[in-house]
């Protein structure tokens, strides 16, 4: 397609959608939810109780705690700030293609 035709199609389609600066909701845990998890975990609340209070699936909470557990003095500790940083790092783009990185898949 030529540049003028492409630009015309772009304009007729309404251009770019507005950029949303809001944090993703629903699918991913927010920093506030991670802080709540850390506070409740510090109070020795169970995974199911935390999930109920946050309105999330227990598997989501369990996975979050397992992924972001830091061992300190033989005891597993969850830190919301570290968990949020790890989540933001893994969400960065661009990522290397799996076929380029994984020999077994290639």
* Per-domain residue ranges of the chain: 28-101
Distances (CA, A) of 41 to 35, 44, 49, 83, 86: 10, 5, 10, 14, 19
Q: Provide the pLDDT for residue 43.
A: 95
Backbone torsion region of residue 102, taken as left when φ is above 0, otherwise alpha when ψ lies between -120 and 50, otherwise beta:
beta
Note the pLDDT tens digit of each residue in 45-89.
Answer: 999 999 999 999 999 999 999 999 887 777 778 999 999 999 999
Give the DSSP letter of residue 94: S
| pLDDT tens, residue by residue, 22-38 | 655 678 999 999 999 99
What single string gives the DSSP state of each residue in 26-77? SSS--HHHHHHHHHHHHTT--HHHHHHHHT--HHHHHHHHHHTEEEETTEEE
């Amino acid at each position: 397609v030529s540049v003028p035709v492409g630009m015309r199609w772009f304009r007729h389609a309404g251009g770019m959608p507005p950029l949303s600066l809001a944090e993703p909701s629903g699918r991913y845990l927010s920093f506030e939810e991670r802080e709540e998890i850390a506070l409740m975990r510090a109070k020795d609340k169970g995974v199911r109780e935390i999930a109920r209070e946050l309105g999330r699936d227990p598997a989501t909470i369990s996975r979050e705690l397992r992924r972001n557990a830091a061992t300190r003095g033989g005891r597993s500790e969850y830190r919301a700030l570290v968990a949020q940083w790890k989540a933001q790092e893994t969400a960065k783009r661009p990522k290397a293609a799996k076929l380029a990185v994984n020999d077994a898949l290639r």
